A and B are shown apart, each in its own frame.
Chain A
Amino acid sequence: MQNLVDGILTGSYISLAAIGLTLVMHILRFANFSHAELLSVGAYAALVFDKAFAAVFPIAATKLAPLSLTLALLAAIVVSMAFTGATAILIDRLVFRRVRDKGNELSMVFASFGMALVMRNLIALGFGLHSQLYSRDIAFAVILSRDPLILVKPDQVFVLGAALVLMAALHLVLTRTTFGFALRAVAENPALAQVNGVDLGRMIAATWVIAGMLAAAAGVFYGLSYQLIPIMGRDLVLPVFAATIVGGIGSVYGAVLGGFIVGIASNLALLVLPSGYSPAVPFLLILAVLILRPNGLFGEARA
C-alpha cells in the first residue's frame, strides 16, 4: 500500500514534466533530450527567487504549517514558471530554430543532447556541484493509516494537488479556447493549420512556454520532495521519457497516465526485485509498451 501511495505521489511531478515533453515532441517533431534540464532551470530559478523574496519580505519566509513551503517559495514558483517558459523560448530562438531550418530531425536530437550538457554544466558552474535545499528543516511524514502503515508527507500531498490543478488548467485551455484548438490543429497537421490562418511561429513559442512552465513546476516539486543538484536533469530524463513513450507521444492525457504508471511501477518494483535492479524498471516499461502497443497507450500512428 505504502509503495502504491508513494508511486502516485512520485508520479505527479513525472506527469507534469512528461506533458511538456510530449507536446514538444508532437508539435516540433523531435525527441528533446534537454527537456529534463528545464526542470533544473525551474528548480534553481525558484531557489534564487525564493531567497530574494524572503530577503525583501521577511514575513513571507514563515512556513505554512504543516507544509515546509513558504509564501516566498509559492511566489517564487510562479515567477520561476514564467522565467523557465522564457528560457525555453530563448533556447529555441538561439539553437533549435536555426537547426530546424537547416537540419533534419536527427540533427535536432543531437542538438538537444548538446543543449542538455550546456545547461547542466552552466547550472553546475553557477551553483556548484553540491546539493541544495529549499528548506533545511525536514518535514515529517504524517501517518494516514496504521494498518497497513501508510505515511505521507504534507508537502507531497500539496505537490499532487498542485500538479492536478495545473493539469486541469491545461485541459481547459486545450479544449475550451481558440488558442487550444489552434495548438491542437498545428499538432495534427501544421500545413493545414497554416492554411487556416494559424501563426506557426506563435504556436511553437506557445508550446515552449507551456512546456517550460510545467517543467519548472515539476522541477520545484521535485526539489521540494528531495534535493536540488545540477545533475537532477540527467537523473530525471529517463523516467520522463518513459512516461511520454508509455503514454503515447503527443497525448497529453497519455503523458499524465504514463507519469503515474512510471512512478507506481518503480515503487512497486522493489517488492519483487532487489533494489539494485530498480533503475532498469523504466526501460522494461518502455520495452513492454513498445512491443504491445508501439504507439503508446494513447498514441496514434502518424504518417
Chain B
Amino acid sequence: MPVTTKTRAGLTLGLALGLGALAPAAVAQDCTTKIGAVLPTSVDWGRPIAEVAQFAVDQVNEAGGAAGCKIEMVLRDTQVDPKVGVDAAKALVDLEGVKLLLGAVSSGVSMPILTSVTVPAGVPQFSCCSSSTAFTKLAEEGKTNGLWFRTFATTAVQSAVAAKVARDKGYKTVAVLYKNDDWGQDMARLIAADFAAVGVEVVANVAINDAQPSYRAEVTEALAAQPEALYLALYPVEGTSAVREWISLGGTQNMIVANSLKSDEFRDNVGLQYLGNTLGTDTASPRSDSADAFRTRYVERFGSEPNGPGLANSYDATMIALLAMEAAGPDASGADIAAAVPRVTDPAGTRVSADAAGFAAAKEVLAGGGTVMYDGGTGNVRFDANGDVSAPAVVWSFAEGGIDEVEYLSLDDVNGFIASLR
C-alpha cells in the first residue's frame, strides 16, 4: 500500500512538473536556446553567483524567453582552475553549441577561455567578476574582436579616485609603495599614469615583496625622495610593517590607501593617531532605485541579503547578454549578439527595469527598432569600447569604530573624472 501511494505521488508530481514546463512554453514558441555558464560552483562564494545568473534566466523565461525561444542555461564548474574552465567552456561551445558564454569569475580563468575558446569560436563572453586590466589591454590590441564584456569595474576606478583625492588635497609629490604581485603592479602602473594626468608627480615607485623580514631599505628609498604624500597598494601584513617603519623614520602621515588596507588589523597596529590624514578609496554599489529593487527581489527569491561578491554583477551580466540576444533576433551569430549590446545599454534609450516586466518592455521597444537603457543591480551599466564598465566609488577614512565615509562618487562622477584624465 505505501508503495502505491508513493508511485502515485511521483506520477502526480511528474505530471505537474510537465504541465508547469509546458504551460508558458505554449504561450511562447516551442523551442529552447542554450546559453553556457562557466562559474566556480564548487567554492562557497561561487555558487550564489551561479544561482543569481539562473534567477535572471528564470525572469527572462517568465517574459517569454529571448529571441523567440526559451532559454536554458547549461552550467559547468571551473573549480577556479584555468584548465578545468577552458575544458568546460570548450565543451559548452563545441558540444552544446551555446550562443553566448557567461563567466568566469577569476581573471586567470576568464583569460584563457577568452583567448582559446570564445574568441576563436566567435562566441560573446560576459564575465561578472574579472577585474584585471589585462583584458583592457587585450581589447585595445584588438584581440577580443569585441566579444568580451564584464560588469565588474577594473582596478582603474580605484586608481582614478586616488588621483582625485591627491589632487583635491593639493599634494604635489607622491611616493608609491606597491605589493609586488599582478594586482599591485597593475595598480602601480595605473596610479602613475593617473597621478601624472592630474599633475601629481610620482617621485618614488617602490615594490614591496611578500614575506620579507624587513622593509627598512624599501621605505628608506621612498623616503629619500621626500614626497608630500604616500600612496599604498599593499595588504595589511606588509602594509603594517612598512607604514610603521615609514612613520618612525619621520615620513609624512599624508597617505592614500587602496581598499586592501580597509582593515581593523592595519588600523589598530599602525595606530589611529597616525592615520588622521589617511584617506582610502574603494568601489561601491550604486545608490539608485534599481540597485534597491535588485536587493528586494534578491531577498524575495533567496531569503537573504545579496552580500556576497559579484551577485548584482552576475545578474546584470546575464540580463544584458539575453537582452542583446533578443535585440539581435532569432538565429543571430555570436558577433551579432555582441554587436547588439550597445542597443540595450544605450544611455539615450528607453529605461527598462531588471526583471521580467522590464524584459517584456524591452522586447517591445526592440521589436519597434528602438534602443533601451538597462537599469540593473549595478546601476545603468555602460560598456566602453573595451567591454569595461565603471562603478561608483567611495573615499573613506579610518575612525574609532571602523571606517567613515568621506565622499561618495556616483557613477556619473566617476565616469566624468576618468574621462577628464584621458
Instruction: Compute the total of residue contacts between A and B using a CB distance below 8 Å.
Output: 91
Q: List 16 A-B contacts (CB under 8 A).
A: A10-B214, A133-B269, A138-B248, A151-B249, A225-B214, A226-B213, A227-B240, A231-B211, A234-B211, A269-B217, A275-B180, A275-B208, A275-B209, A275-B218, A278-B209, A278-B212
| Residues of chain A in range 99-138 having any CB-CB distance to chain B below 8 Å | 130-133, 136-138
Q: Closest residue of chain B to A10, judged by CB?
A: B214
Binary contact readout B152-180 vs A (1 if CB under 8 angstroms, 0 otherwise): 00000000000000000000000000001
Interface status of B220 (Cβ within 8 A of chain A)? yes
Residues of B within 8 A of A239 (CB): 213
- Which chain A residues numbered 252 to 303 have a C-beta less than 8 Å away from chain B? 266-267, 269-270, 274-276, 278-279
Please judge, given known A-B contacts A6-B217, A278-B218, whether A136 and B250 are in contact too, CB under 8 Å. Answer: no
Give residues in A with beta carbon < 8 Å to B.
2-3, 6, 10, 130-133, 136-141, 143, 149, 151, 153, 222, 225-227, 229, 231-232, 234-236, 239, 266-267, 269-270, 274-276, 278-279
Question: Given the complex, which residues of A lie within 8 Å of B217, measured CB to CB?
Answer: 3, 6, 266-267, 269-270, 275, 278
Tell me how far the C-beta of B209 lies from the nearest C-beta in chain A, rounded to whole angstroms.
5
How far, in angstroms, from A274 to B270 measured CA to CA in the complex? Answer: 27
| The one of A137, A222, A236, A275 that contacts B207, using a Cβ cutoff of 8 Å | A275
B81 within 8 A of A: no
CB distance from A96 to the nearest CB of B (A): 25
Interface centre among B214, B269, B270, B274, by most chain A C-beta atoms within 10 angstroms, is B214
13 other A-B residue contacts (CB within 8 Å) besides A10-B214, A279-B211: A6-B217, A131-B237, A141-B250, A143-B250, A222-B213, A226-B244, A232-B213, A267-B217, A270-B221, A275-B180, A275-B208, A278-B209, A278-B217
Cβ of B268 under 8 Å from chain A: yes
Q: B83 in the interface, Cβ–Cβ < 8 Å?
A: no
Q: For residue B268, which residues in chain A have a CB less than 8 angstroms away from its CB?
A: 136
A131 surroundings in chain B (CB, below 8 A): 236-237, 240-241, 265, 269
**Nearest CB on A from B65, distance (A):** 49
On whether A227 and B209 interact (CB within 8 A), knowing A136-B268, A276-B180, the answer reads: no
Give the CA-CA distance A140 to B269 in the complex, in Å: 15
Task: Answer whether residue B19 sits at the interface, using C-beta atoms and an 8 A cutoff.
Answer: no
Q: Encode B231-264 as 1/0 by CB contact (under 8 A) with A.
A: 0000011001100110111100000000000000
Residues of B within 8 A of A234 (CB): 211
Interface residue from A133, A151, A266 paired with B250 (Cβ < 8 Å): A151
0/1 per residue, B192-217, Cβ < 8 Å to A? 00000000000000111101111011
Residues on A with C-beta less than 8 A from B206 are: 275
Instruction: Tell me which residues across on chain B come within 8 A of A2, comparing CB atoms.
Output: 220, 224
Distance between A157 CB and nearest chain B CB, rounded to angstroms: 13
Residues of B within 8 A of A274 (CB): 207
Rounded to whole Å, the gap between the CB of A101 and the closest CB of chain B is: 35
Closest Cβ–Cβ distance, residue A236 to chain B (whole Å) = 5
Given contacts A130-B265, A131-B237, contact A275 B213 (CB under 8 A): no
Taking A131-B265, A141-B250, A276-B180 as contacts, is the C-beta distance between A136 and B211 under 8 angstroms? Answer: no
A262 smallest CB distance to B (angstroms): 10
Interface pairs A-B: 4 shortest CB-CB = A276-B207, A275-B207, A267-B217, A270-B217
Give chain B's interface residues, CB within 8 Å of chain A: 180, 206-209, 211-214, 216-218, 220-221, 224, 236-237, 240-241, 244-245, 247-250, 265, 268-271, 274
Whole-angstrom distance from the CB of B192 to the nearest CB of chain A? 14
Chain A residues in 8 Å Cβ range of B250:
140-141, 143, 151
Q: Write out the residue numbers on chain A whose beta carbons fall within 8 Å of the beta carbon of B207.
A: 274-276
Smallest Cβ-Cβ distance to A143: which chain B residue: B250
| Residues of the B chain whose Cβ atoms lie less than 8 Å from the Cβ of A133 | 269
Chain B residue contacts of A132, Cβ below 8 A: 269
Select which of B216, B236, B248 is within 8 A of A140 by beta carbon.
Answer: B248
A212 vs B265: C-alpha distance in the bound complex, in angstroms? 30
A51 to B249: give the CA distance in the assembly, Å.
27
Q: Which residues of chain B have C-beta atoms less than 8 A from A137's C-beta?
A: 271
Chain A residues within an 8 Å CB radius of B218: 270, 275, 278
Bound together, the chains give a CA A203 to CA B326 distance in angstroms of: 83
In the assembly, what is the distance between CA of A50 and CA of B271, in Å? 20
Smallest Cβ-Cβ distance to A279: which chain B residue: B209
Question: Which residues of chain B are near A232, meaning CB under 8 Å?
Answer: 213
